[in-house]
Amino acid sequence: MPSILIVDDEPEILDLLRSYLERDGMTVARAADGEAALAAYDRLHPDLVLLDLMLPGIDGREVCRRIRDRSQTPIIMLTARDEETDKLVGFELGADDYITKPVSPREVVARVRAVLRRAQWAPRGDEIRAGDLFVDRRGHKVTRKGQMIDLTPTEFRLLEVLASHPGQVFTRMQLMDHLQGSAFDGYERTVDTHVRNLRLKIEPEPAHPRYVVTVYGIGYKFADQHEDV
């Protein structure tokens, strides 16, 4: 039974989302501000956090940043604003998805399920090696030169999709389809953000990537065995 922490300063939103999530078989805890959210997170260790961007006191961005310093728990941002910049900032901080208010409770439940599936998905027995990079799909782990690399669930899924098909070029919309479950027009730049974050973690020289390679005018690919890996 997945545990969800909802952080929002609007009681009606808290009650509505809790009702739908509990009806879907999840356990739900609530917090109305950033300080309470961090205390609840440390106490409960939830499987996923639904986090409002605009909070009194410690805002949602800072809450997201502090949770990311602690763990790779999936985070879905909630916000009343529909600015692309806010979405990109959220993804850069490590959020796994983004929902704009007014929310559809059914959509929230579907997004929560999708993010949880991505976080828990790990086919048995599959290992990917490329140079000094090792992806353990069963254990949901990534190492380079034997050193563990902490990836968010979305970053891991992005690496897994690309590394499972070395040399194959994926458009941004195709990658969005793999990451989100369906392609969303206008959100292609979020793929660039996830790629940038992934490169910072796995590439020896992020400015000159050797694993996740840009195919200009099209998208990205994982370097195949004939390239400099």
Query: Minimal CA–CA distance to 139: which of 157, 153, 125, 149?
Result: 125
Question: Are residues 112 and 194 located together in one domain of the fold?
Answer: no
Question: Are residues 202 and 101 located together in one domain of the fold?
Answer: no
Say if 160 falls within a structural domain: yes
Question: Are residues 70 and 154 located together in one domain of the fold?
Answer: no
Say if 86 falls within a structural domain: yes
pLDDT 10s digits, 130-148: 878 888 877 788 998 888 9
Q: Which residues contact 147 (CB under 8 A, 6 or more apart)?
A: none
Question: Are residues 66 and 141 located together in one domain of the fold?
Answer: no
Q: Match 């891991």 to its residue by tokens.
A: 156
pLDDT 10s digits, 37-78: 999 999 999 999 999 988 888 999 999 989 988 887 889 998
Question: Are residues 89 and 135 located together in one domain of the fold?
Answer: no
Say if 112 falls within a structural domain: yes
Domain end call among 102, 120, 138: 120
The answer to whether the CB of 182 falls within 8 A of the CB of 135 is no
CATH of the domain at 193: 1.10.10.10
Q: How confident is the model at residue 124 (pLDDT cuts 50, 70, 90)?
A: very low
Query: What residues make up the domain containing 214?
Result: 127-222
In this prediction, residue 183 carries a pLDDT of 44
Say if 229 falls within a structural domain: no
The predicted model gives 85-93 an average pLDDT of 71
Ramachandran quadrant class, 94 (left: phi over 0; alpha: psi -120 to 50; beta: rest): left
Distance CA 21, CA 110 (A): 10
Domain end call among 120, 154, 177: 120
CB burial string 147-157: b at 16+ within 10 A, e below: eebebbbbbbb
Q: What is the pTM of this model?
A: 0.60
- What burial class does residue 119 get, using C-beta atoms within 10 Å of its C-beta: 0-12 exposed, 13-18 middle, 19+ buried? buried
In this prediction, residue 120 carries a pLDDT of 58
Question: Are residues 33 and 140 located together in one domain of the fold?
Answer: no
Question: Are residues 131 and 116 located together in one domain of the fold?
Answer: no
Say if 10 falls within a structural domain: yes
Say if 53 falls within a structural domain: yes
Helix (H) or strand (E) holding 76: strand 75-79
Q: What is the dihedral of CA 52, 29, 139, 184, to 10 degrees?
A: -30
CATH of the domain at 55: 3.40.50.2300
pLDDT 10s digits, 67-84: 988 887 889 998 876 666
Say if 198 falls within a structural domain: yes
The answer to whether the CB of 66 falls within 8 A of the CB of 37 is no
Domains held by the chain: number: 2
Q: What is the mean pLDDT of the chain?
A: 84
pLDDT 10s digits, 148-169: 999 988 899 899 889 888 888 9
In this prediction, residue 125 carries a pLDDT of 42
In this prediction, residue 86 carries a pLDDT of 67
In this prediction, residue 123 carries a pLDDT of 40
48-57, 87-96, 109-118, range with the lowest pLDDT: 87-96
Question: Are residues 116 and 18 located together in one domain of the fold?
Answer: yes
Domain end call among 66, 97, 120: 120
In this prediction, residue 82 carries a pLDDT of 64
Say if 204 falls within a structural domain: yes
Question: Are residues 190 and 215 located together in one domain of the fold?
Answer: yes
In this prediction, residue 21 carries a pLDDT of 95
Question: Are residues 146 and 187 located together in one domain of the fold?
Answer: yes
Question: Are residues 29 and 92 located together in one domain of the fold?
Answer: yes
Bridge partners, residue 148, by sequence: 143
Q: Which residues contact 180 (CB under 8 A, 6 or more apart)?
A: 97, 114
Q: Which residues contact 208 (CB under 8 A, 6 or more apart)?
A: none
In this prediction, residue 226 carries a pLDDT of 42
Tokens standing for 184?
């969303």
Question: Are residues 103 and 144 located together in one domain of the fold?
Answer: no
Residue 224 has pLDDT above 80, yes or no: no
